A and B are shown apart, each in its own frame.
Chain A
Amino acid sequence: MDRSFRAVIWSLNTLVVIIFSILLLDIFWKGLSGINFDFLIHAPENAGRNGGIGPIIASTLLLLCVAVVTTLPLGTACAVWMTDYSKNKSSLAHWTSISLNALAGVPSIVFGLFGNAFFSSFLGLGFSILSGGLTLACMALPLYIQTTAKGLEAVGQDLRKQGAALGMTRLTITWRILLPAAKPAIIGGILLATGRALAETAALVFTSGYSDRWPKSFTDGGRSLSLHIYDVSMNIAGGDQVAYASALTLMTLIVIINAGTIWISESFFKP
């Protein structure tokens, strides 16, 4: 009985490992043959069948840039208020954490709908990197705030009391003591949010648009790497090679970012 149970668990787990390995190796081998320096810096030609993904990478970075620049101040202020300024069991802090949990559960296509209706149409930003980045910021906020709040909580009460004993104002304590002490958590939160934003597609289809030209400004449309993979594999016959190479590029970026997150969180939470 025990032996057959062991066999069942082993074989199911081996099945999982085999399927995932096939998937990863497939992306790796088919992607690797398409990636070279020219591919990474040149513009797509012939609707994406030839050429490279230079403008796509540029648009992706600009999208992330908008998302991070929006998330960082808003999220940090919110996290600081939640951990240090809210009174014990204040109802605002309670509601904010419920609301953030709900926000984290909203499907990305609904963020896309909202971004299209609000940023693109209502605020008149159109299909632009700005509206795409702001939509990504809405999605990244809960993740970033939760990580940063956890980091701020991990900074002991002693430091806060010592600062107060020295006659520092709360703003000085926050700015000079708490935020520097929680820096690894803040960086970790930003990386985590960036990884999530990089993987995002559905929220960008109707906010940042399909344009595959070099972005000239934040009000230009721009296609993210993930959207490029979708477009060339679904809508362009013969685009598979480019899709695989783009997928490998995207996976590599995400792995680097996630490895950074793990490294930072381990060096911070387990000193």
Chain B
Amino acid sequence: MRSFSLRRHADELFRQTAQAITILISLAVGFIGLFVLRESLPFLKQMDIGDVFFDSAWFPLEKRFGMAGMLVATVLVSLGATLIAAPLGLASAVFMTFFARRGGIFFMKTLLALMAGTPSVVFGLWGLSVLVPLLGETYPPGASVLTAIIVLSLMLLPTVALTSYTALKSLPNALHQASHALGLSRVRHVCSVAIPGARTGILSGLILSLARALGETMAVLMVAGNVPALPTSLFDPARVLTANIALEMGYATGTHRASLFASGLLIVSLVLGISLMAGKTGKGSQL
């Protein structure tokens, strides 16, 4: 009987340990948020909200923390990249669902998976050594908002294509048959039946891509030119908030360091807010 109770004991011990680990892990995201908040407090206590959001003078060493230029650049680059990735990704998904044969689907899936797994520094390296000189010939200096948009859109494209493909693929067969029976042309079927039917899946993929674009650091850092001023055209160099953190964390101290943590907090709340939206749309009416 003794060994039996010992085994029971081990069983209970394991249950408790596993539960403790689960509690720990479930608290991790809150802990990360609180810790980043703690580090940004020295800045949050003394910042002027108007200056931070509406002034683009970023001179942290002179205690001027205007983030407006970088905020505009962040939004411009992420929205631009999502807007370019959306039609191209959707076209690839439509191609795979309605036009490609088996070999074509396999080829596209492999290519998209390969690109989805490619590290952002590799995209950045390509942008830096191919795209920047290319655009620099016509629109110097080459490293600009536009270059960042192009490189980032290529990074988002595989995700957009694959999520849209999954959404289109999971439409019930009856829908295709009904269109067929009604004698709809292919273009009508795709544009008026299939894409609207799969819109929740497609949309949540797009929103998730936007969230990823907002949080992306390395690829944008390598090709955007990193001037922390308000960009006035697509060909101006610009610095996004994430790149600002990566560039200045190395030497920042005091309030300056705290301001970088605060901008991190801003990004993470933006990204999580947007992901939450995607979760909501994903749970909405699915055909």
Contact = CB atoms under 8 A, between A and B. Distances in A.
Contact of A15 (B88, B130, B242): B88
A12 interface: yes
B161 to A, nearest CB: 8
B67 interface: no
A233 interface: yes
Contact of A171 (B11, B117, B124, B211): B11
B36 to A, nearest CB: 6
A15 B118 CA distance: 19
A233 to B, nearest CB: 5
A229 B8 CA distance: 53
Secondary structure dominating the interface of A: helix
Contacts of A47: none
Interface residues of B, number: 79
Q: How big is chain A's contact interface, by range?
A: 35 or more
A152 interface: no
B222 A6 contact: no
Q: Most A CB atoms within 10 A — which of B87, B117, B214?
A: B117
A267 interface: no
Q: Most B CB atoms within 10 A — which of A101, A109, A112?
A: A109
Contact of A117 (B36, B94, B118): B36
A177 interface: no
Contact of B30 (A10, A99, A113): A99
A113 B264 contact: yes
Contacts of A230: 121, 124, 218, 221-222
Interface string B194-231: 00000000000000000100111110011000000000
Given A12-B87, A114-B36, A108 B215 contact: yes
B275 A105 contact: yes
B128 A233 contact: yes
B19 interface: yes
Given A12-B92, A16-B157, A108-B217, A113 B245 contact: yes
Interface of A: 1-2, 5-6, 8-10, 12-13, 15-17, 19-21, 23-24, 26-27, 74-75, 77-78, 80-82, 85-86, 92-93, 95-96, 99-103, 105-114, 116-118, 122, 138, 141, 145, 169-172, 174, 195, 198-202, 205-206, 226-227, 229-230, 233-234, 240, 243-244, 247, 250-251, 254-255, 258, 262
- Which 10 residue pairs of A and B lie closest in terms of their CB atoms, listed nearest first? A107-B215, A12-B91, A199-B119, A5-B187, A96-B26, A81-B18, A202-B217, A13-B95, A169-B11, A77-B18
